[in-house]
Amino acid sequence: MLGYAAGALRKRSLLGEAARRSISSSAVLHARYDNITEAIGNTPCIKLNRMAPPGVNLYVKCEFFNPCSSVKDRLARAIIEDAEKRGKLKPGDTVVEATSGNTGIALAMVCAQRGYRFVCTMASSFSVERRKVMRMLGAQVIVTPAEGGGTGMVIKAQELAEKHGWYYARQFENQANPDYHARTTGPEILEDFKDGDLDYWVTAYGTGGTFQGAGRVLKEKLPDLKIVLAEPKEAPLITSGTKQERTTVLGEFGAPATRHPAWTPHPIQGWTPNFIPKIAEDGLDMEILHEVMLVSGPDAIKTARELSRLEGIFTGISGGGTVATAIEVCKKAPQGSTVLAMIADTAERYLTTPLFDEIDAEMSEQEVEIGLSTPGDIHRTFA
């Protein structure tokens, strides 16, 4: 929905600082591209003016400005282009992947643009609208039992890849994922905070691609930067200290062998599957992490709603979780600190989730009262 503006932002780097400052805040910078995937990236960092604790600068990097409204657009482009360069994909081939939704939507977009067939496996616990968006983009969605969680849908994708000879994207182990963030997300942040005025960077992990890829670049250029990783309180996998068991699949090591013992169901879709991804674990081994902080599902939902109502930033439960964590970081940070939090996707991915439980389709009593304050007729019922 908001992705149309992403490509325009690419022109920021082509403008001098004086020129950028002279453009009014209402101006739109336009750009032309040969295909939709070229519009991926260069998402904006936006300051929070009503939710940040006093004396601290809190920004959010809004990945919903990507064409299909999530950070996973980067991952999808990275994996498909890498497979093409290595000769793993040819015209008419099929790509298969396990996903909670955003990766599947992004892969469906890139495959549609490239002319590949895309088959997704997804646990039934994830929101229905994600399945519909993927199918709208031409994908086929194989729904797996909710009780199997992330490992269940991964196993199904592995089986399908082996049975049919399809290209298995392996988002949780594919190094093309974090490497793309190292080439794009990290440098974008450095450009936006090129005065070195970034003290904390807060992100979460789904695959760990953003954390590992952007994180290693940021830490190299800003050695004093404190990187904070958010994790669901209901699923403290990294916090537990228990290693993830791994196995070899299709000749590649790193896939989860079993569900992690510290995992329990949580409402922050896209975060922390029921295993620690290999990419996330590799990021931890790089010793770029300052701290892991836990956030509850209810706090993530509450913060996502506040972002909409107080800041006009329309994000999902995962974005709420990251910002809730960042606010806690702000409370402990020295005065004058600058904190940046990643916002992964849009609230439109969560219409059938608890995020919208308090949002009615029918008019409230107050809305009916406003409607009746003038002579024109209205539909008078209310929830």
Beta bridge partners of 97: 120
**Residue 88 CB neighbour total at 10 angstroms:** 14
Query: What would the DSSP string read from start to end of 66-107?
Result: STTSBTHHHHHHHHHHHHHHTT---TT-EEEEE-SSHHHHHH
Catalytic residue check, 318: yes
142 by DSSP, 3-state: which?
Answer: strand
List the structure tokens of 40. Answer: 């991926």
Dihedral sign of CA atoms 147, 152, 153, 154 in order: positive
CB 60 within 8 A of CB 166: no
Q: Is 170 left (phi over 0), alpha (psi -120 to 50) or beta?
A: left
228 by DSSP, 3-state: which?
Answer: strand
d(Cα 278, Cα 36) in Å, to the nearest integer? 29
d(Cα 377, Cα 374) in Å, to the nearest integer? 8
Buried residues in 349-378 as b, exposed as e (16+ CB within 10 A): bbeebebeeeeeeebeeeebeeeeeeeeee
Catalytic residue check, 88: no
List the structure tokens of 318. Answer: 């995962």
Output the CA–CA distances (angstroms, integers) from residue 134 to 40, 74, 105, in the order listed. 18, 17, 5
CB 211 within 8 A of CB 229: yes
Name the phi and psi angles at 29, rounded to 5: -95, 130
Marked catalytic residue, from 61, 69, 70, 72: 72
Marked catalytic residue, from 70, 100, 318, 337: 318
Q: What DSSP designation does 339 have?
A: E
Active-site positions read 72, 318
